[in-house]
Chain A
Amino acid sequence: MDGPVIEMSGVRHRYDDTLEVLRGIDLTIERGEVFGFLGHNGAGKTTAMNILTTLIVPTAGTARACGYDVVEQRREVTGCIGYLPADVRLYGHMTAAENLEFFARLSGVADPRRAVIETLDYLGCADLADRRVGAFSTGMRQRIGIAQAVLHRPKVLFLDEPTAGLDPLGVRQLRETMLRLNQDLAITVFMNTHLLSEVAKVCTTIGVLNHGALVYKDSIAETTRRFPNEASLEDIYALMEATSA
Chain B
Amino acid sequence: MIVTIAAHQVQSLRRRRVLAVFLGLVVAMTALAGAIGWSSHRTIVRVYNEAVTLLAAEGKTAPPNPFELKPSLSLLSNMVIYIPLIGALLAMIVGHLSVADDESSGLGRLIFSRRVSRSSYVAGKLAGTAVVIATVLAASLAVSVIALLVANGSLPGEGDLARLAGFYGLSWLYLMLFAVIGMVTVLVMSRRSLALLSALGIWLVITFVVPQVTSGLRPTTSLNPISDPAGTSEAFFRVTNRARPFSISEQYKTAGTQILQIGIGDTTAETLLRVLPIAGLLVCLAFLTAWLVGHHDYSRSTSDG
Cβ contact within 8 Å between B106 and A81: no
A83 touches B12 (CB 8 A): no
**A170 proximal to B (CB < 8 A):** no
- Please tell me which one of the listed residues B5, B107, B112 contacts residue A90 in the complex, with CB atoms under 8 A apart: B107
Which residues of chain A come closer than 8 Å to B60, judged between CB atoms? none
Residues on B with C-beta less than 8 A from A46 are 299
CB contacts between A and B, total, < 8 Å = 66
Q: Are B106 and A88 in contact (CB under 8 A)?
A: yes
The answer to whether A89 touches B107 (Cβ under 8 A) is yes
What's the Cα separation between A158 and B113 when bound, in Å?
10
- Residue from A78, A88, A89 in contact with B114 in the complex, judged by beta carbons closer than 8 Å: A78
A93 touches B110 (CB 8 A): no
Assess whether B101 is in contact with A91, with CB atoms less than 8 Å apart.
yes
| 8 Å CB contact of A85 from B1, B110, B297 | B110
Which B residue's beta carbon lies closest to that of A51? Answer: B299
User: Does A182 belong to the interface (CB within 8 Å)?
Assistant: no
Say whether B1 contacts A55, CB under 8 Å. Answer: no
Closest to B1 in A: A106
> Chain A: which residue is nearest B112 at the CB level?
A55
Residue numbers in A under 8 Å from B116 (CB-CB): 78, 106
Q: Are B115 and A107 in contact (CB under 8 A)?
A: yes
Interface string of B96-113 (1 = CB under 8 A from A): 000001000111011111
Question: Interface stretch among A97-105, A185-193, A220-228?
Answer: A97-105
Chain A contacts for B15, CB-based, 8 A: 93-94
Write out the residue numbers on chain B whose beta carbons fall within 8 Å of the beta carbon of A81: 113
B106-A106 in contact (CB<8A): no
Contact B106 A85 (CB under 8 A): yes
For chain B residues 231-255, which have a beta carbon within 8 Å of chain A? Answer: none
Q: How far is the CA of A102 from the CA of B4 in the complex (A)?
A: 7
Least CB distance, B133 to chain A, in whole angstroms: 20
Judge if A20 is at the interface, Cβ distance under 8 Å: no
Shortest Cβ distance from A55 into B: residue: B299
Q: Are B8 and A102 in contact (CB under 8 A)?
A: yes
| A61 contacts partner chain B, Cβ-Cβ < 8 Å | no
Q: Which 3 A-B pairs have the closest CB atoms?
A: A106-B114, A50-B299, A55-B299
A residues within 8 Å of B by Cβ? 46-47, 50, 53-56, 75, 78-79, 81, 83, 85, 87-91, 93-94, 98, 102-103, 105-108, 148, 158
A-B contacts, 21 of them at CB < 8 A, read A50-B109, A50-B299, A53-B113, A54-B113, A55-B113, A55-B298, A55-B299, A75-B115, A78-B113, A79-B115, A83-B109, A85-B109, A88-B110, A89-B105, A93-B16, A106-B4, A106-B5, A106-B114, A106-B116, A107-B114, A148-B110
